[in-house]
Structure formats: C-alpha cells, structure tokens
Chain A
Amino acid sequence: SQTIHQWPATLVQPVGSPLSLECTVEGTSNPNLYWYRQAAGRGLQLLFYSVGIGQISSEVPQNLSASRPQDRQFILSSKKLLLSDSGFYLCAWTRLLGSSLGYTFGSGTRLTVV
C-alpha cells in the first residue's frame, strides 16, 4: 500500500535560520508531488509541485525553494526564514492523471518562526 511520510510534525525556528522539511512516498513510483502552506484558519496555498526528479514548478514567488533529489522524495527548504513563513505545511501526492483518488496528504508540519 502507498504511504506518505512527512517530518518533523512541529518546528519552532528563529527568524533567519534555515529550514528543511522532508516528505517521502512509499509504495508507488513517479508520483506527482506537492507542497502546500496553510495559514491559521485559512485555505491551502500551493507552493511547489513536481512531476519528476529534478522538475520543480513554483506557484508563488517567495522565500522558499523545493527539490526532488529522488523519485519519491520532496524537500522544502529556506536559507533564511521570515516571520511570514509560519504556518502549517502539507505535502501531498497523486498517482495517475485524472485519478478519482485525489490527493493523499502527509500529516503536516506546524512551523512557527519566532
């Protein structure tokens, strides 16, 4: 069966520090991978998506970057965090084009920048 792992679950980081959030998918190959951010009480904002190794598309210009070094690994990074980077970060994947299964989400990372 397919599973998605996202860590850490909670993170408190000072302004100006680096960030690395990792997401891995098991039990499938060549998934579409996504990073979303959710501000408190708000909807989901798509940050990055990837259709393959090394292929990253950015939806919103910002302080963050993403990488896909392996087929089932998706990493969200920042060199210097801003207060506005605080939020709930969700990784997700989909399998087939047009699949009725939709997204499978990771459990999320709650990031607080202080």
Chain B
Amino acid sequence: AQKITQTQPGMFVQEKEAVTLDCTYDTSDQSYGLFWYKQPSSGEMIFLIYQGSYDEQNATEGRYSLNFQKARKSANLVISASQLGDSAMYFCAMREVSYNFNKFYFGSGTKLNVKP
C-alpha cells in the first residue's frame, strides 16, 4: 500500500485565492512526522511546514497551514492568498523512525499553477 497519497496531479488557482493540496498517509506508528516541500522549476526542494503526530494544534508557517486530521490520516496543505511565485510542484512526505534511521516517504506530488 502507498504510504503517502496525493490525488491531485495538477491544480489551478487564481492569484490571491486560497488553495488546498490533499495528502493522505498510511502508518501504524504512533510517532511520526508530516512534511510539505515545494519544488520550483529549478529543482531545489524547499521545506515548507512540519506537523508532528502528537501535535494537537495545526501547524502554520506564514501563508502555509497544515490541516491535520489524525483520525482520517490526512495532512492537507492550505496556501492562503496565492502568489504567482507559488507555482511549483508540492510534495507531501511522512517520516517514520526505524531503529537508528529516519525513513521518509514521499507522495507523487501536485503541480500547482497560479493564474494572474
């Protein structure tokens, strides 16, 4: 089974509007971490936001927030007030700790296009 599922291969959003990128995960661990990364066309991977499995509050970082619904195993990224520079690929990832090793699983990504 897929550990991380991103069901939206591509999305469009109007500039200044909010957009939600979906992510569901699958794990039997109690302790895990959820991450979102942005990859612009240059290829670099940029860390956006982190949510720990024990965190009760949804994580927020500026215009980014993570809608964490533990029972549903979902960790959707919400970008408020979209900007043209937000056009990029977005990857959801989950970290499990295996023995002495951080193991990450990535989704297939969502390509976001922000329209002027």
Nearest CB of A to B101, in Å: 5
Which of the four size classes fits the interface of chain B? 20 to 34
Residues A100 and B107 in contact, CB atoms below 8 Å apart = no
Other-chain contact of B102, A32, A88, A105, A108 (Cβ < 8 Å): A32
Q: Which of B20-28, B44-52, B73-81 contacts A (4 or more CB under 8 A)?
A: B44-52
Nearest-neighbor residue (CB-CB) of B100 within chain A: A51
B97 at the A interface (CB under 8 A)? yes
- Known pairs A43-B106, A44-B91, A94-B104. 18 more at Cβ < 8 A? A32-B101, A32-B102, A41-B111, A43-B91, A43-B107, A51-B100, A92-B45, A94-B102, A98-B95, A98-B102, A101-B47, A101-B50, A102-B93, A103-B35, A103-B37, A103-B47, A107-B44, A108-B45
Residues 58-88 of chain A, each 1 if its beta carbon lies under 8 Å from chain B, else 0: 0000000000000000000000000000001
Residues A103 and B97 in contact, CB atoms below 8 Å apart = no
Residues A110 and B50 in contact, CB atoms below 8 Å apart = no
Nearest-neighbor residue (CB-CB) of A109 within chain B: B43
Nearest CB of B to A91, in Å: 11
B residues with CB within 8 A of A: 31, 33, 35, 37, 43-45, 47, 50, 52, 91, 93, 95, 97, 100-104, 106-109, 111
